[in-house]
Amino acid sequence: MIKKIGFIVYLFLIFGSFVAQAEEEAESVNIPFYFPMEPDIVTNYAALGFKLSYVRVAVSVMVSTANDLLVIEHHEPLLRAAFVALLGSEPEHKVKSSAGREAIRKECLRIANSLIESETGYSIIEDILFTKYIFN
């Protein structure tokens, strides 16, 4: 009976050390958090001639901590307005090309970090992702 209890205690000690090691590894890994902006951003852009053109973009903002998600949620209207203004001012060739889309995404990241830094005093946005990108 004492051997069985000793064996059970031994198993708990081994299992406890594995759990502690797993928790330490999870803390050392930097897991990103994503804030999907809802609804999608839809705006007209500068098309050639009198053609009516629009772009629809689903945007997700990547941050490094859960607290940063709250900051992004609080400032979402500011970011949304900046993204709409940027997308609406881009020329047709830039909106419709892959290289142009990447340039727009990088510019959105730069503007978003600038706005958040001016509001909070520090930059928290790791990346901006376009998860849907539709244009006409």
> What does the alpha-carbon distance between residue 23 and residue 25 come to, in Å, rounded to a whole number?
5
> Does one domain contain both 3 and 53?
no
Q: Are residues 21 and 40 in the same domain?
A: no
Separation CA 100–CA 56 (nearest Å):
15
The answer to whether residues 21 and 43 belong to one domain is no
What pLDDT is attached to residue 48?
79
Q: What is the pLDDT along the chain (136 residues), one digit of tens a residue?
A: 666 666 665 656 666 665 456 455 545 678 999 999 999 999 999 777 778 899 999 999 999 999 999 999 999 999 999 999 999 999 999 999 999 999 999 999 999 999 999 999 999 999 999 999 999 9
Domain around 87: 33-135
pLDDT of residue 26: 47
6 and 42 together in one domain: no
If asked whether residues 125 and 81 sit together in one domain, one would say: yes
The reply to whether 40 and 82 lie within a common domain is yes
Q: Into how many domains does the chain fold?
A: 2
Evaluate if pTM is beyond 0.75.
Answer: yes
Residues 12 and 71 in one domain: no
Whether 8 and 70 map to the same domain: the answer is no
- 78 and 98 share a domain? yes
pLDDT in the model for residue 49: 75
